[in-house]
A and B are shown apart, each in its own frame.
Chain A
Amino acid sequence: MKARRLEEVLDESLSAYLDGRRTIEESLSLYPSLRPHLEPLLRTAAELADNVSRSSPAPQVVRRGRERFLESAQIRRRARELTSDIPITRRMVNVWGRTQWGFLAGGFATLFFVVAFSATALDSGSQKSSLQAQVILDARPAAVTDLRQTQEQLRVQTVENGDISAGLILELARTTTELQSQVEDFSRLDDRSRQELERTIGYQYLLLHLVIDTQSRSAAPQAREALELTEDLAEEWGVDLPDLPPAVSATASASPSATPAGSATPEPSPDDTPAVTPPPSAPPSSTPDPPLTDLP
Chain B
Amino acid sequence: MVDAARAGNASALSELYTLYFPRVYRYILARTGNTYDAEDLAEEVFMRVLEAIERFQWREAPFSAWLFRIAHNAVISQRRKETARGRSSQLSEALAVDSQGPDELVENRLVLGDIREAAEKLPEAQRQVIALRFAAGLSVAETARTMGKGEGNVKVIQHKAIVKLREMMGARKPQSVKVYESKKA
Contacts and interface: CB of A to CB of B under 8 A. Distances in A.
A214 to B, nearest CB: 6
Interface string B63-105: 0000000000000000000000000000000010111100000
Contact of A7 (B17, B48, B133, B159): B159
A11 B158 contact: yes
B98 A56 contact: yes
A25 interface: no
Contact of B40 (A15, A73, A74, A296): A296
Interface stretch (A58-66, A192-200, A233-241): A58-66
A122 to B, nearest CB: 52
Given A57-B38, A65-B42, A74-B10, A41 B166 contact: yes
Contacts of A68: 43
Nearest to A155: B51
A116 interface: no
Contact of B46 (A61, A65, A162, A265): A65
Contacts of B10: 70, 73-74, 277
A49 interface: yes
A162 B74 CA distance: 10
A62 B40 contact: no
Contacts, number: 131
Contacts of A69: 13, 17, 43, 46-47, 50
A7 B18 contact: no
Interface residue SS majority, chain B: helix
B44 interface: yes
A264 to B, nearest CB: 9
Contacts of A265: 36
A52 B30 contact: yes
Contacts of A61: 39
Query: Interface residue tally of chain A, by bracket?
Result: 35 or more
Interface in B16-57: 17-18, 21-22, 25-26, 29-30, 36, 38-40, 42-44, 46-48, 50-51
A156 to B, nearest CB: 9
B106 interface: no
Contacts of A174: none
Nearest to B118: A48
Chain B interface size, under 10 / 10 to 19 / 20 to 34 / 35 or more: 35 or more
Contact of A15 (B29, B38, B99, B140): B140
Contact of B137 (A7, A14, A53, A55): A53
B177 to A, nearest CB: 12
Contact of B130 (A18, A47, A48): A48
Contacts of B133: 14, 18, 49
A45 B162 contact: yes
A32 B112 CA distance: 31
A216 to B, nearest CB: 11
A162 B73 CA distance: 13
A51 B8 contact: no
A66 B156 contact: no
B112 A51 contact: yes
A10 interface: yes
A165 to B, nearest CB: 16
A212 to B, nearest CB: 14
Contacts of B95: 55
Contacts of A214: 47
Interface of B: 8, 10, 13-14, 17-18, 21-22, 25-26, 29-30, 36, 38-40, 42-44, 46-48, 50-51, 95, 97-100, 108, 111-112, 115, 130, 133-135, 137, 139-140, 155-156, 158-159, 162-163, 165-166, 169
Interface of A: 3, 6-8, 10-11, 14-15, 18, 40-41, 44-45, 47-49, 51-59, 61-62, 65-66, 68-70, 72-74, 76-77, 159-160, 162, 214, 265, 274, 277, 296
8 contacts: A48-B115, A52-B115, A54-B108, A62-B21, A65-B17, A66-B18, A70-B14, A265-B36
